[in-house]
Amino acid sequence: MPDAAARIRNANPDPVFASYSHLSRLFTSESVTEGHPDKIADQISDAVVDAVLKDDPQSRVACETLVTTGFALVAGEITTESRLHIPELVRRTIRAAGYTRGEYGIDADSCEVLVKLDEQSPEIGAAVDEAREKGKPLGAGDQGMMFGFACDDTPELMPAPISAAHALVRRLSAARRSGEIPWLRPDGKSQVTFEYGDNWRPRRIGTVVLSAQHEEGLTHARIRDELAEKVVRPALAGFAAGEDAETVYHINPSGSFVRGGPHGDAGLTGRKIIVDTYGGFGRHGGGAFSGKDATKVDRSGAYAARWAAKNLVASGAVFRCEVQLAYAIGVAEPVQVWVDSFGTAASGLGDGELSRAVREVFDFRPESIIRDLGLAAPVFGPTAAFGHFGRAPGTVEAGGREIRLFGWERIDRVNELRLALGL
């Protein structure tokens, strides 16, 4: 394969569809770094969730954050026994994202922080807790529909476009944090277009877009060449359906990108829900994850649906599927559990049979999801950047107890599903 930097240097600046010589199906997904303004807001909101759950696992949190030039606002509803110092949480998160100098437009140590938090509505609290008080399972914290998706595009059973987009921004962030590329600043975005074959198998990468915030005084040629060699090439090297001689690259296509982060755009919690999930590959119920404790099924239901979908694909019953859940506020049992296999189910299996098996193997009541996935612990901070799905599950030690991270990514119900399906 030609040198990546040389191919990017010589790329057609206005390719349109020139890179798709065997045009079939195209799909594009994007991702952003932890320094993107919306992701700073998500990280602050989840820092609050983790802080209250650390000392009081029964806490209820619905926390929203807004960030802009020199300013952060935290608002919402919290019911907890924990003692919090929200401004310090905010500053710590902004500092960790890389905003430590006034010239960046927001500085963790000097920015203004405003906190407007109330207790959770007693009506919502009563709807959730009433069943428990009667000895019944915890009710759902709200109505809504959630979707979980999985496919065999990648080893982590995620769609290839969002996996590649995440890989680019993770590598971009690592190059900044390590000092490998010293002129990088915290904000950045990626976008990857894959060409798929007729059977929805990824065939090749058609277009790569990467925009990286940088310090002043750099030539575009230097930015392009260093990012090509130190970010694009290593990030995409592991994809089986990857770059080729016709792949088109747009690196910092707008030219200069000095002003970024909250100084360039205001950031809000929950404004990157497609980045958080499957990059648009699969449906979304519309509810954001960050800033919510697990009684809110927007979050826990979506995690459980991904858990079920991933295990279904791993079982060999399907090579692509979407698990759909829906809840009524205050009611523990979901009002809907349905699997859409998109016609990829093993011979003899219909969507009805898949749905029956999933409902038999997985307990989708909120209390059971919280127990099975370990969601009453401070596990949410790591989810707030680089996607909630496709991450490696693991455990960490915190406060003398073992905490499970990304428990919904475990492949641990395959045998039960195969048995339920007669495979």
Catalytic residue annotation? 36, 38-39, 64, 77, 189, 257, 265-266, 271-272, 292, 296, 298
Token code pair at residue 422: 């007669």
Q: Which uninterrupted H or E stretch holds 421?
A: helix 414-421
Q: 132, 241, 131: which is closest to 196 by C-alpha?
A: 241
- Beta bridge partners, 207, equal 193, 248
CB 156 within 8 A of CB 310: no
Classified as helix, coil or strand, 196 is: strand
Which tokens go with 95? 């500092």
The number of helix segments (H) and strand segments (E) in the chain equals 13, 13
Q: What are phi and psi of 2, to 5 degrees?
A: -60, 155
Q: What single-letter amino acid sits at 333?
A: E
Given the structure tokens 């809840």, which residue do they identify? 327
Q: Burial letters for 185-200: b for 16+ Cβ neighbours within 10 Å, e otherwise?
A: bbbbbbbbbbbbeeeb
> How many CB atoms are closer than 10 A to CB 297?
32
360 vs 420: CA distance, rounded Å: 8
Two tokens, residue 130? 């009433």
Q: Which residues, other chains included, contact 193 with Cβ-Cβ below 8 Å and sequence gap of 6+?
A: 26, 27, 28, 161, 205, 206, 207, 208
Residue with tokens 């900044």: 176
Q: Is there a contact between 299 and 289 (Cβ–Cβ < 8 Å)?
A: yes
Contacts of residue 420, Cβ cutoff 8 Å, sequence gap at least 6? 356, 357, 360, 361
Supply 205's token pair: 């990468």
- CA dist 59 and 90 (Å) reads 19
Question: Which of 416, 373, 411, 381 is closest to 398 using CA atoms?
Answer: 381
